């Protein structure tokens, strides 16, 4: 295959195993664990050499364990995260940590009946309006919606929200596009 790595890694079983253990042993820490997984994944992403060192056969497993411990000590992670990451490292899967963190967050959201939304707004939006938008989305979906806001000045006014595969476009740009399509006979 000439340098192309074929990977069939599935993050969900790892994430589910961790969530099951955390739910049983430290139920108050389920969200903390999510944040810590994302933090560790970000740390490895910011220092790509660290990830490469963890997979090199030139470094003894004990040295890799010590290096991982040093990173986890600096990040002050929960003991369950530490134990989990050591298991992941022993199975040479640490490079898949971003996928595991994402899968864990999705499983936790599903378990808590929570949906995530990406909401684009023109410029900066005050916290009160952010809450109002999140509450409106929660009412529309009949579930608690956690909204992540990002600025998109092309929208002109209004907002565009993506919840799962559904997109709600209440932006001025979206309205102009619908008018253009209607005028062209496309709608």
The CA distances from residue 42 to 47, 102, 148, 163, 165, in Å, are 9, 12, 18, 24, 26
28-32, 38-42, 112-116: which has the minimum mean pLDDT? 112-116
Burial of 170 (0-12, 13-18, 19+ CB in 10 A): middle
CA distances from 133 to 52, 125, 128, 145, 148 (A): 42, 10, 9, 10, 11
Question: pLDDT tens digits for 110-162?
Answer: 899 888 888 888 888 788 888 988 888 888 888 888 888 888 887 777 788 88
Instruction: Provide the pLDDT confidence category of residue 4 given band limits of 50, 70 and 90.
Output: very low
- DSSP 8-state symbol, 156: -
CB 7 within 8 A of CB 95: no
Q: Is the pLDDT of residue 6 over 70?
A: no
- pLDDT band at residue 71 using 50, 70 and 90 as cut-offs: very high
Domains of the chain: 11-110 (1.10.520.20), 114-183 (3.40.30)
SS3 for 84?
Answer: helix
Position 7 confidence tier, pLDDT thresholds 50, 70, 90: low
Residue 176 banded pLDDT, cuts 50, 70, 90: low
- If one compares 156 and 50, the residue with the highest pLDDT of the two is 50
Average pLDDT taken over every residue of the chain:
85
Q: Residue 17's pLDDT is what?
A: 95
- Total residues found in the chain within this entry: 187
Pick the range with the lowest mean pLDDT from 76-80, 114-118, 152-156, 169-173: 169-173
> Which pLDDT does position 100 carry in this prediction?
94
- Of 115, 107, 114, 116, the closest CA to residue 13 belongs to 107
Token code pair at residue 35: 């944040």
pLDDT value of position 3: 42
* pLDDT interval class at 187 (50, 70, 90): low
Residues 179-186, mean pLDDT to the nearest whole number: 71
Report whether pLDDT(25) > 70. Answer: yes
């Amino acid at each position: 295959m000439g340098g192309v790595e074929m990977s069939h890694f599935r993050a969900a079983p790892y994430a589910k195993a961790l969530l099951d253990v955390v739910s049983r042993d430290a139920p108050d820490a389920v969200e903390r664990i999510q944040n810590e997984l994302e933090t560790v994944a970000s740390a490895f992403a910011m220092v790509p050499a660290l990830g490469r060192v963890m997979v090199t056969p030139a470094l003894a497993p004990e040295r890799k364990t010590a290096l991982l411990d040093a990173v986890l000590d600096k990040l002050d992670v929960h003991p369950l995260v530490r134990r989990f990451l050591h298991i992941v490292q022993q199975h040479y899967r640490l490079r898949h940590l971003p996928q595991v963190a994402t899968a864990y967050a999705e499983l936790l959201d599903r378990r808590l009946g929570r949906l995530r939304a990406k909401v684009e707004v023109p410029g900066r939006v005050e916290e009160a309006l952010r809450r109002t938008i999140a509450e409106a989305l929660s009412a529309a979906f009949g579930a608690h919606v956690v909204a992540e806001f990002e600025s998109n000045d092309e929208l002109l006014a209004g907002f565009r929200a993506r919840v799962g595969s559904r997109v709600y476009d209440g932006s001025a740009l979206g309205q102009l596009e619908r008018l253009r399509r209607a005028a062209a006979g496309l709608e």
